[in-house]
Amino acid sequence: MLNEKLKGHDIILASGSPRRQDFFKNLGLDFEIRLKPVVEEYPSRLTHFEISNYLAQLKALPFKQELKPKDILITSDTIVWHDHTALGKPRNNQEAFSILKSLSNQTHEVITSVCFTTTTFEKTLHNITKVTFKALTDQEILYYINTYKPFDKAGAYGIQEWIGQIGVTKIEGSYFNVMGLPVHLVYKTLNTIAETT
């Protein structure tokens, strides 16, 4: 349905995340994957959704010179926000353990920002989901890290995986946002773009 509306547009998804790619497939969209390396660093003055907004926009920068008039570039970034700190992807087992230990028996926020870039405009939106974990035992945390190796995930976990199934007791907001994409907002925004361009 949306694909029909976007005929004449070329959608470029700049993400190596298999989860994000699956979301776009499930929306029935024709899209191309293009990847360019970006150093994901942000100014220390930024907080909360400012961080994910900045990083989503940063990921669009390397593509801007090569966009054609009918291209729609989509970049995104997800962070976990807990105790006034942004938790990104863990670099090793120790970091993953430390992150999950800090989330145990607590509520945190998962923030995903999505940046839509064309030759004529750039629009960035974000979505926030609150997630509560039960008290996780050290054994549960270690089992999850050793079995699932969540080093490509912000906050060191995937809600769709074992740890989410046994550990998440409450969720407020979009489940898919926690997986890495607020699909409902992407759908809405692409509809708007299709109707106005």
Sorted by sequence, the CB contacts under 8 Å of residue 5 that are 6+ apart come out as 191, 194, 195
Q: How many CB atoms lie within 10 A of CB 105?
A: 13
Residue 42's DSSP bridge partners are none
55 token code pair: 């990083």
Determine the distance from the C-alpha atom of residue 5 to the mean position of all C-alpha atoms in its chain, rounded to a whole number. Answer: 25
Q: What is the Cα–Cα distance from 189 to 40, expressed in whole angstroms?
A: 25
Which of 77, 83, 138, 152 is catalytic? The answer is 77
Known active-site residue 77:
yes
Q: What is the Cα–Cα distance from 182 to 187, expressed in whole angstroms?
A: 9
Active site residues: 77
